[in-house]
Amino acid sequence: MELYCLGIESTADDFAVGITTFNGKILANIISAYVPMEGGIHPRKAARHHARVASRVIEESLKNAGIKPRNLSIIAFSQGPGLGPCLRTGATVARTLASYLGIPLVGVNHCVAHIEIGKLKTDVEDPVTLYVSGGNTIVSAFDSGRYRVFGETLDIALGNCLDVFAREAGLHQSVGEPFGAVVERYAAKGKRLIPLPYTVKGMDMSFSGLLTAAISLLKRGEHKLEDLCYSLQETVFSMVTEVTERALAHTEKEEVLLTGGVAANKRLQSMIRSMAEEHDAEFCVMPKEFAVDNGAMIAWTGVLAYKYGVVTPIEESVVKLKWRLEEVEVLWVK
Ligand code: AMP
Ligand code: MG
């Protein structure tokens, strides 16, 4: 008999549900994104969106998977890191489902899930991972039982940096187009590299000073928007490439995995690819459906953990807003 896990993702602006089998077959992966009318993500408004769409997204996932709630063996949910109100909404839905169905609940670390779905959906087995999204910027690799953080942002995430710049510049999005993709479109037409603060401290990166500098150049109006987007991309992508390269050289891993929403960027892909090639490492980029926040990654990581005896009793299922990647013992990786 096939066993199934339903996973709920709600760390930020997306409410997503995925269903996988215990053997790693993905049967459903549905994402409902909260799109603010203006400005950035307001945590409580996003949480309200999640509560509103939850039952429809769950129903649709079960329908896509062709199973009934009683066929589920476990419920997994993203327990952190993320925005409090959003996480709590997902956790409440997960607890309700698990207790109603009388099945185990498994709390999953969102960052671990991004890596595990990468290993499931691409050829990589033991990569250096560059995870760049709206909320995270992390260079990591497995060592001694955990995914260690080799480098990360000291302030805002790379995706957030691109988004805020695009908003400040009033860049026009076509329907459903993320701001990062708009910056990419403008950058493709840029030619002149304008110096911007390049901040790598040890293995960590800082994007906020650079963002402020880019915005003040923008407001001065002396440069073409295309050149500013081009320069912004070249600078921030060089920073993450440098840190990823040093992690690769240090760990001597043979694969590089690029994931998170920003992984869709062709310029970033080409920089990481050529860096990996110089080190004779294989380069893999996650397909977009599984690079962005999704429920399948939570379901699959829930399965991996559950097989190693991890369950999260309701009384321990409180969300962890700042749950770090390396705090998780990944028992299933040797
Ligand atoms: P996530 O947080 O994983 O859902 O990813 C969302 C982030 O990815 C946002 O900051 C987007 O602007 C960014 N993003 C999406 N597409 C692209 C792209 N083509 N280039 C750069 N950033 C992108
Ligand atoms: Mg993410």
Domain that holds residue 186: 125-288
Each residue's pLDDT tens digit, 100-133:
999 999 999 999 999 999 999 999 999 999 999 9
Mean pLDDT for 250-268 is: 98
Are residue 138 and residue 269 in the same domain, yes or no?
yes
135 Cβ closer than 6 Å to some ligand 1 atom: yes
Buried b (16+ CB within 10 A) or exposed e, 27-52: bbbbbbbbeeeeeebebebbbebbbe
pTM: 0.97
Tell me which residue has its CA closest to atom 8 in ligand 1. Answer: 261
Instruction: Provide the pLDDT confidence category of residue 47 given band limits of 50, 70 and 90.
Output: very high
Total domains in the chain come to 2
In sequence order, the β-bridge partners of residue 167 are: none
In the reported structure, the alpha carbon of residue 41 is separated from the centroid of ligand 1 by a whole-number distance in angstroms of 14
Q: With 90 as the cut, is the pLDDT of residue 286 above it?
A: yes
Mapped onto helix, strand or coil, the DSSP state of residue 92 is: helix
The answer to whether residues 224 and 254 belong to one domain is yes
- Which of 14, 156, 262 has most ligand 1 atoms within 8 Å of CB, for mutation? 262
pLDDT of residue 173: 82
298: CATH? 3.30.420.40
Question: How do strand 105-109 and strand 72-80 relate by DSSP bridges?
Answer: parallel
β-bridge partners, 104: none
What are the strands of the beta sheet with 72-80, ordered from one edge? 26-33, 14-21, 4-9, 72-80, 105-109
For residue 82 and ligand 1, the question of a CB distance below 6 A is answered with no
Is residue 203 a part of any domain in this protein? yes
In this structure, the answer to whether residues 157 and 26 fall within a common structural domain is no
Is the same domain home to 66 and 154? Answer: no
Whether residues 222 and 282 share a domain: the answer is yes
- The Cα 177–Cα 148 span in angstroms is 33
Helix (H, G, I), strand (E, B) or coil at 82: coil
pLDDT band at 262 (very low <50, low <70, confident <90, very high): very high
CA 175, CA 286: separation in Å to the nearest integer?
A: 23
Q: Are residues 234 and 303 in the same domain?
A: no
Averaged pLDDT score across all residues of the chain:
97
Q: Are residues 157 and 55 located together in one domain of the fold?
A: no
**Residue 120 placed within a domain:** no
278 and 218, same structural domain?
yes
Question: From CA 119, how far away is CA 122, in angstroms rounded?
Answer: 6
134 Cβ closer than 6 Å to some ligand 1 atom: yes
Considering the domain architecture, whether residues 26 and 169 belong to the same structural domain is answered as: no
Give the H/E segment covering residue 157: none
Let me know whether 129 and 225 are in one domain: yes
165 and 38, same structural domain?
A: no
Task: Give the DSSP letter string of 213-265.
Answer: HHHHHHHHT-S-HHHHHHHHHHHHHHHHHHHHHHHHHHHT-SEEEEESGGGG-
